Amino acid sequence: MDLSTADICIAMAAAFAGATIQGAIGFGINLVTVPVIAIVAPEALPATVVILGLPISIAMMRHDFHAIERRAVVWVMVGRTPFSIVGAWIVTQLATESLAVLVGLFVLFAVLISIAAPPIPVNPGTQMAAGAVSGITGTAAGIGGPPIALLYQHHPGPTMRGTLAATFFFGTLLSIATLSIAGEMHRDDIVLALYMFPFVLAGTLLARRFLAVLDRGWLRPAVLAFATVSALVAIIDAL
């Protein structure tokens, strides 16, 4: 992977910004890093951004461990596990630009449904469904947060962030395994992710300054707004 110093610095800045957002609202790092990596190092997608899910998930779980819904994590992973294989297969069949457009359109559709429809009941069925969609989009394009975040958008901040972090951790391990089997995980992808790790952790620490404000009623609007903007950016960049 032939990257300049400027390219690496841009990737690091994206990791810091994305981690700050995810640490605050529960998801978002890949919605920032995917469009940036698609510009400076498209051959690193989706492996590099998938790997970044490990350090941020661990940091977030430590902070909101007490609020994690453990049964929810189990049901989400039941849905996600088989469909991560589907996501890995899609990576081998479609171009990066096509993946970005498809995932962006799905996120926009999910946001519109969230605004227009009453709250989706959170039960094992919807948790498995969110996990299945997250497995496909997370493995294929590195964007697995919105399906689960939109399902939990009406929950308290610590519950939403902690549960998302736990599902991201196990889901990331699963995505790494399936991408490795599919031959889409390379040494250069891992090296670039390691460069970005410290900035991910720094962003997570900065995010804690915003939690008190967001948890006073601003978390759901922030989730919907950021999901919409990120989806539009991904689609426009791909097109």
Mean pLDDT of all residues belonging to the chain: 86
Higher pLDDT, 193 or 149: 193
How far lies 202's CA from each of 8, 157, 199, 207, in Å? Answer: 17, 20, 5, 9
| CA proximity to 53, closest of 139, 126, 129 | 139
Q: Rounded to an integer, what distance in angstroms lies between the CA atom of residue 81 and that of residue 138?
A: 11
pTM above 0.75, yes or no: yes
Range(s) of the domain holding residue 119: 5-238
User: Tokens 């890949």 map to which residue?
Assistant: 30
Amino acid at position 7, single letter: D
Higher pLDDT, 101 or 163: 163
pLDDT at 67 over 70: yes
Q: pLDDT category, 213, cuts 50, 70, 90?
A: confident
Instruction: Annotate 200-214 with b (16+ C-beta within 10 A) or e (fewer).
Output: bbebbeebeebbeeb
pLDDT at 143 over 80: no
Please tell me the predicted confidence (pLDDT) of residue 19.
Answer: 93
**Average pLDDT of the segment spanning 22-31:** 85
Number of domains forming the structure of the chain: 1
Q: pLDDT category, 15, cuts 50, 70, 90?
A: very high
